[in-house]
Amino acid sequence: MTEKSRLKSALFVDFDNIYLGLRQLDEDAAEQFAANPAHWLKWLEEGMPGMPEGKGQASAERDILIRKCYLNPRDFQRYRPFFTRSAFSVVDCPSLTSQGKNSADIYMVMDILDTLNHPTHFDEFIILSGDSDFMPVLLRLRAHDRRTAILSAGPASAAFIAASDLVISEDVFIEHALGMGGEEGRKPANGSAPPITATPELLDAMAEKLYAEASANGEILATDLPKLYRNFPEFRRDSNWLGFYSLRALTTHLVRRHPNLRITEGDPWRVTVELPRKATKSKRQPAERPAQPTSDDKLRKRILDLVRKLVGRAQEPILMGRAAQEVIDQLGSQVIESHWAGAGTFKNLLQSEENLGFEIATSPSPGYLYDPQRHALPREEETAKPKDEMPPKLAEFAKRISQITGAPYLTPRQYALIFTALAEDLKEHRYHLTSTSKAVRDRLIEQGESVSRTNINNVLKGIAYAKHRFTKRDTPQSLARVYRSYILSRCDDAELELSREEKRMLKEWIEGGLRELQGKKKSEKAEKKDDKKKNGKTTALVKAEAK
C-alpha cells in the first residue's frame, strides 16, 4: 500500500468511558488498554488485523495524525504518562458533580468539530466512547463525507451504531488490539494438569490419521474431530482427552507432530492442510510436464484409475473422505508421503484433472463424488444436522426479543449448554472474556454442538453488563438468571414493556433448557449406576460358579 492510499485519521479517546466499560468485561483487559496504548495504537495503524471480513476501511492502513485522550486526573492520573509517551495530547477533565460526571464529552465534541476545519483533510475520525451523546457528531461527520469508527465498551444504542461506518466490538478489541486472545497456558485451577496417558507411538498414529482425513478436502472441522479420534481404542477408554485436558489441546499437540497440518480459526475452528510449495497451483499445465513420466505422474494415474473404479461400481454418491481413505488403504503410505502425488490434497488432485469421468460436489458438505447419469445427490437438508425446534409461539417471541435486545437467537438447549459449559470452566479457570469464550465454544464442540464465538461473547458480555463478577461458585442456573435479568433491562431501555405471559416465555427461552439438560444427565447417571450394579452381579455370579 502506498503512502497516498493510507487513511489520514484523527483519534479521540474518552478514557473513563472505555476503561470502566472494559473493566466490567475483563479487568486485565482494562489495565492493558490503560497501561499500553502503544500496542492498540499500532493495531489501528496496521489496519485492524483480526476484524471480521467485509468491514470496509478496517483493513486500510492509517496515519493517526491527531491523538487526543480525555481523562479524569483525580481517578486516573497514574495512566497519563503512558498516553503522553505514545504522543497523545491528554486533556484533563475533572469531575464536575458528586456523581463523578465530567466534561469529557463536551471537550471531545468541540475538538472534533474544530478538526473538521483543520487544514489537513482528515479521511477518518476514530471515537473511542460508547456515549450515545456523540450520535449527532457522527451524523455531522457523515454529512461532511468523513469516515467514522467507534469502539463502545458497553451496550450501545442501535442508533449510535447505525450512525457509524465501522464498529469495533469489545471482544475483537480485547483479542486483537490488546493482544489478549490466547487460551495458551490454561490449566486447571489447582495448578496441576492431568498426566498425559498417550504414548508417542499412539500420538504419531493419530497425527497421521488426522492428516489423512484432512487431506481429502484440505480441512476437517473441529466438530468432526471427536468421531475421528474414537477410531483409536485408547481414546475411547480415556475420559480426559488422553491427558491433554481438552479437544483443542489434544488437537494442537497432534498438529505440532505433523509438518503439513495447521489450525485455522473460525466458527468452528478447523485443521487445515498446508500445501507443499510445488502444489500451490490447482491446475497442472501440460507444457510444464517433463517428457518422461515422473513417479508422481505414475501415482497420480493410479489414484485416478482407482477412484474411477470406485465411482463406477458405487450404487450411490461416495463421500469424498471415504474415497480418499479407500485410496490410502489400497495404495499405501506413498499416497500420504507424496502429498497426493504432489497435488497437496485429494480434492486438489481431482480438480486438476479435466476428464475425470465423474463429478465432484463440494456441497452439500462434506463433499461427494458421483456419476450424474446414475446418482442423485442428497439434498442439503438431508445431510444437515437437525436443529432443535422451539414451539412456534416461543420461536416468534424469541426472534422479536433477539431483534430488539441483540440477544442471540439460540434454542433453549443451546443456552443451557452455554451456561453449563461456562459454569464448568469457571470452576477450573479464572475468567477472561476471550479465553473463556473460546473454552466454552470448545466445550460445546466436544459435545457435538457448534455455537459461534460471537454468540457466546454476547452472552458473556450480557452477564458482565449486569454487573456480575464471574467466580467458581457460579452455577448454570445463577448465570441464566443473571442473563435473563440483563435482557429484561435491555427491553426496558428499548421501552418495551413485557406482559406477565411474555416474562414467563422469556424465562422458558433462557432457562427452560437447563431443566431438560439436567433431567438427561440424571437419567444417564442412573443408567451408568444400573450398568455398574449389573456388572457387579455378573462378576459375583462368575466367581460363585468358578468356586
Mean pLDDT of the 285-304 span: 73
Name beta bridge partners: 166. 149
* Co-location of 161 and 207 in the same domain: no
* Co-location of 111 and 161 in the same domain: yes
Percentage with pLDDT > 70 across the chain: 83
Return contacts of 106-115, CB within 8 angstroms, 24+ apart. Answer: 107/70, 108/12, 108/14, 108/68, 108/70, 108/134, 109/133, 109/134, 109/137, 111/12, 111/68, 112/10, 112/12, 112/137, 112/141, 113/137, 113/140, 115/10, 115/66
Q: How far apart are CA 44 and CA 17, in angstroms?
A: 19
With respect to residue 77, please indicate whether it lies within any of the assigned structural domains. yes
Lowest mean pLDDT across 107-121, 291-305, 455-469? 291-305
Burial of 436-471, coded b for 16+ CB within 10 Å and e otherwise, reads bbbbbbbbbbbeebebebebbbbbbbbbbbbebebe
pTM score of the predicted model: 0.77
Mean pLDDT computed over every residue of the chain: 85
Q: How far apart are CA 117 and CA 110, in angstroms?
A: 11
CATH of the domain at 398: 1.20.120.1790
Q: What is the pLDDT of residues 169-196, one digit of tens each?
A: 998 999 999 998 765 445 554 555 556 7
Q: How far apart are CA 454 and CA 415, in angstroms?
A: 14
Q: Which residue type sits at 211?
A: Y
With respect to residue 544, please indicate whether it lies within any of the assigned structural domains. no
Q: What is the pLDDT of residues 201-214, one digit of tens each?
A: 999 999 988 988 88
Segments in 406-499 forming alpha helices (H): 412-428, 433-446, 453-465, 476-493
CATH of the domain at 209: 1.10.10
C-alpha cell at 533: 450394579
* Co-location of 371 and 504 in the same domain: no
Count of domains forming the chain:
4
Q: What is the pLDDT of residues 142-161, one digit of tens each?
A: 999 999 999 988 887 778 88
Q: What is the pLDDT of residues 332-371, one digit of tens each?
A: 888 888 888 888 888 889 988 888 889 988 765 667 899 9
* Co-location of 342 and 444 in the same domain: no
For the cut 50, the answer to whether the pLDDT of residue 280 exceeds it is: no
With respect to residue 290, please indicate whether it lies within any of the assigned structural domains. no
Give the β-pairing of 7-14 and 318-319.
unpaired
Q: What is the pLDDT of residues 219-229, one digit of tens each?
A: 888 988 988 89
* Co-location of 17 and 142 in the same domain: yes
With respect to residue 193, please indicate whether it lies within any of the assigned structural domains. no
* Co-location of 502 and 409 in the same domain: yes
Considering only residues 16 and 286, tell me which one the structure prediction assigns the higher pLDDT. Answer: 16
Beta carbons within 8 Å of 479's beta carbon, 6+ residues apart: 419, 422, 423, 463, 468
Per-residue pLDDT band at 51 (split at 50, 70, 90): confident
Lowest mean pLDDT across 63-77, 300-314, 338-352? 338-352
Single residue among 377, 405, 427 that ends a domain in this structure: 377
Q: What is the pLDDT of residues 78-119, one digit of tens each?
A: 999 999 999 999 999 987 766 557 788 899 999 999 999 999
Q: Which residue type sits at 35?
A: A
C-alpha cell at 456: 457466546
* Co-location of 487 and 356 in the same domain: no
With respect to residue 531, please indicate whether it lies within any of the assigned structural domains. no
Single residue among 330, 349, 377 that ends a domain in this structure: 377
CATH of the domain at 150: 3.40.50.1010
Q: How far apart are CA 221 and CA 214, in angstroms?
A: 9
Residue in this structure with the C-alpha cell 406477565, named with its chain if needed: 500
Residue in this structure with the C-alpha cell 497442472, named with its chain if needed: 284
With respect to residue 533, please indicate whether it lies within any of the assigned structural domains. no
With respect to residue 547, please indicate whether it lies within any of the assigned structural domains. no
**Residue-number span of the structural domain to which 205 is assigned:** 200-274
* Co-location of 25 and 97 in the same domain: yes
The CA R_g of the chain, rounded to the nearest whole Å, is 28
* Co-location of 270 and 365 in the same domain: no
* Dihedral (CA of 412, 416, 419, 422) sign: negative
Single residue among 377, 409, 434 that ends a domain in this structure: 377
Q: How far apart are CA 211 and CA 105, in angstroms?
A: 55
* Co-location of 65 and 149 in the same domain: yes
